[in-house]
Amino acid sequence: MRPFKPTFIFEVLPQILPYTLVTLGIMLGTVFFGGLLGLLLAAGKLKGGRVLRGLASAYTYFIRCVPSIVMLFIIYYGLPELLLSFGININNASKAVFVITTFTFMFGASMSEVFRSAYLAIDPGQSEAGLSIGLGRWQTFRRIILPQASAVALPNFTNALVNLMKEGTLAYTIGLIDIMGKGQLIIGLNHGSYALETYIAMFVVYWVLTLLIEAVSKRLEKHLLRGLRPHEEAVSKEKSVSEKILYPIYETGILNKLKQSNGFFDVSMGKARSAGSKSSETENDQNRFQRTQEDNSWKLN
């Protein structure tokens, strides 16, 4: 057996790195078109009549059950034929066209769920409040709903984006030269040797890309959540379980309040009520948070 050659990883990396741009370009195109499709689908699910809603839901369900690679090959073999019957020849089109088309269909479905759950996560009272102080419908949406909904949508969007990147590697099977495609080419040029080293180099590139996307998203989320009140922020952050399971009473803050109070009068009705109402509010937020998580959980992987 040929010994493992770690230095080869560093020889391959500079050859692969330029193709990150191809991967990112495909992702950008897909996010644009898939986002539009997702918006349409989400609008159909939220505001459409019975037929539209059914169609949009059926589409999402259908796509959810289809493996990306199957969709990719159906588009790759089927789309030129389909268009040819309308007299359009795209047989010489770039492979990127087929990849973006495929993943637009896939990504659109998951984005529709992201948009829908984000929209539903916002309390209708928010838009009512906006309208009641004299904002127009569009203004309410843009200034009140959108900033809050985007904060809810962001983690799920990031998840979908990372998924898109990972599934996008399948594009090499139809011959697109992105990170994966270039890696396969290098392995081919070496007649199959140094495959492990090349794979490790690709692992590194993809992993770093994922971590970068997640880091940017976390930053952005922090920025979007800047308007939250302190207790809401505490809810949106995940707590260490040992704290939650072992010392749950600290969660409500009642005990802290009791501790801070100096005498009997501080724990009078007013204070107790405020502590109580706060805890019930927290619980509501927790429920809401949980609900949105459940809504989007299907994109976990």
Partner 1 sequence: MEIELGFMWETFLVALSGIPVTLQLTFVTLLISIPLAFFMALGKLVDHKVSSRIIGFYVSFVRGTPIVLQILFFYSLLPTTLNYIFKNVLHTDYNVFSWNPIIYAYTVFSLNTIAVLSEVFRSALLTVNAGQLEAAMSIGETKFQAYTRIIIPQALVAALPNVGNTTVSLLKNTSLAYMMTVKDITALAKIEAAIGYNYIEAYLVILMIYVLLCTVVQLLFRFAENSLSVYKKRLTKPSDRRFNYILSRAAAVSTLLRGV
In angstroms, the CA 101 to CA 77 distance is 12
Tell me which residue of 287, 280, 279 sits closest to 123, measured CA to CA: 287
Q: Can residue 251 be called a binding residue for partner 1 (CB under 8 A)?
A: yes
Residue 85 is a binding residue for partner 1 (CB under 8 A): yes
Contact 159, 299 (CB under 8 A): yes
Distance CA 224, CA 238 (A): 17
Q: Does 77 bind partner 1 (CB under 8 A)?
A: yes
Q: Which is nearer to partner 1, 174 or 272 (CB)?
A: 174
89 touching partner 1, by CB under 8 A:
no
Smallest CA-to-CA distance from 149 within 298, 300, 295, 301 is with 295
Query: Segment near partner 1 (CB under 8 A), from 27-35, 94-102, 137-145, 293-301?
Result: 293-301
Residue 109, token pair as written in the block = 């479905």
- Asked whether position 280 contacts partner 1 by CB under 8 A, the answer is no
In the complex, minimum distance from the CB of residue 294 to partner 1, in angstroms, rounded to a whole number: 7
Among 7, 51, 81, 92, binds partner 1 (CB under 8 A): 81
Query: Please, is 190 exposed, middle or buried when counting C-beta atoms within 10 Å of its C-beta (0-12, 13-18, 19+)?
Result: middle
CA-to-CA dists, residue 200 to 64, 128, 188, 269, 299, angstroms: 30, 54, 16, 64, 26
Separation in Å, CA 167 to CA 91, 163, 186, 206, 267: 24, 6, 21, 12, 57
Near partner 1 in 174-213, by CB under 8 A? 180, 195-196, 199-200, 202-203, 206-207, 210-211
144 is a contact residue toward partner 1 (CB under 8 A) = no
Closest CA to 112 of 78, 176, 70, 62: 62
Does 82 contact partner 1 by CB under 8 A? yes
By CB under 8 A, residue 242 contacts partner 1? yes
Q: Does position 149 bind partner 1 by CB under 8 A?
A: no
The site for partner 1 (CB under 8 A) is made up of: 1, 62, 64-71, 73-74, 77-78, 81-82, 84-85, 162, 165-170, 172, 180, 195-196, 199-200, 202-203, 206-207, 210-211, 238-242, 244-246, 248, 251, 290, 293-294, 297-301
